[in-house]
Amino acid sequence: MLIAQITDIHIGFDPGNPDEYNMQRLRVVLDRIAAGPNRPDLLLMTGDLTEFGDAQSYARLVEAVSVCPFPVLPMAGNHDAREALLAAFPQVSSHEGFVQYARDLGGLRLVVLDTLDPGRHGGGFCETRAAWLAAELAAHPDTPTVIALHHPPFESGLSWLDSGAQEPWIQRLEQAMAGHGQVRAIISGHLHRTIQTMWQGVPTMVCASTAPLVSLDLNPVDPERPDGREMISNELPAYALHRWDGERLVSHVENVGGHQILVRYDERMQDTVRLIVGERSGG
């Protein structure tokens, strides 16, 4: 099972421009996912699909992903609007108005959460959403599960974007997951960089964005004193591939564009490949 993940697409950042920069970056990534050597079983878009949550931007996104020869699943981020998102992707179910649903992927369950709190940049996860998650996990205790949500539930060090570790929504998420050992991984977006850690004993990964990336500066930020730091850069767009091998989720990230292939597998590389494969099998 191979799950592709893209996140923080932000279509409509340049309103009225169907060929805006964010769309150009998205198309490059979609072309790589669809035409590259690792065609996934599905594509998961982990929130901030649009900039303003408007119907026109969702329509442009639907048209862009229509080239994908595999299912495409959306999620809500803090820049999204639930009603418009669900109207654009009618194949996605909701629970009490929240964009939360689960998919059985054949030996693996994908549980999609809604951490949108309208009017707030940070995450939200109310009692209703937490109860749904707890019930979903309780109903499938023996099936390995991946949880996907937009907002990471940990502090990364990117202080101007982070949620606080003690925020109530994070505590509700922790409580809903407590005692459910089938959760093998958590995947998220929001921070526009690739980041990995452990959270509550579960491997947790943030995927970098297709829209411009957040600059890597882990110094504390003072909201009262602009210091001229780098904040957003045009580093190459990225996507993740999550490979489920029946026991574990192995995640890869690829940046797309601006690189050259220096070596291909031909006769010149055959001896090296034989050597490495032989060492692995022999031990």
**Contact present, 176 and 133 (Cβ < 8 Å):** yes
Measure the CA angle with vertex 28, ends 24 and 31; round to 5°.
135
**Contact present, 119 and 125 (Cβ < 8 Å):** no
Question: What residue type is assigned to position 22 of the chain?
Answer: N
Task: State pLDDT tens for residues 78-92.
Answer: 999 999 999 999 999
Where is pLDDT greater, at 268 or 123? Answer: 123
Position 269 scores a pLDDT of 76
Residues in CB range of 101: below 8 A, 6 or more apart: 92, 93, 94, 95, 112
DSSP string, 136-176: HHHH-TTS-EEEE-SS-SS--S-TTTPPPTT-HHHHHHHHH
**Contact present, 49 and 74 (Cβ < 8 Å):** yes
Position 282 scores a pLDDT of 61
DSSP string, 229-240: ---EE-PPPEEE
Task: State pLDDT tens for residues 120-165.
Answer: 999 999 999 999 999 999 999 999 999 999 999 999 999 889 998 8
Kindly tell me if the per-residue pLDDT of 277 is higher than 90.
Answer: no
Position 281 scores a pLDDT of 62
Measure the CA angle with vertex 7, ends 51 and 163; round to 5°.
80
Task: State pLDDT tens for residues 198-239.
Answer: 999 999 999 999 999 999 999 988 988 888 889 999 999 999
Average pLDDT over residues 52-80: 97
Residues in CB range of 278: below 8 A, 6 or more apart: none
Average pLDDT over residues 253-261: 86
Kindly tell me if the per-residue pLDDT of 7 is higher than 90.
Answer: yes
Look-up: residue for tokens 């060090």? 157
Domains and CATH numbers, the chain: 2-282 (3.60.21.10)
Average pLDDT across the chain, whole number? 94
- Integer Cα distance of 48 and 67 in angstroms: 20
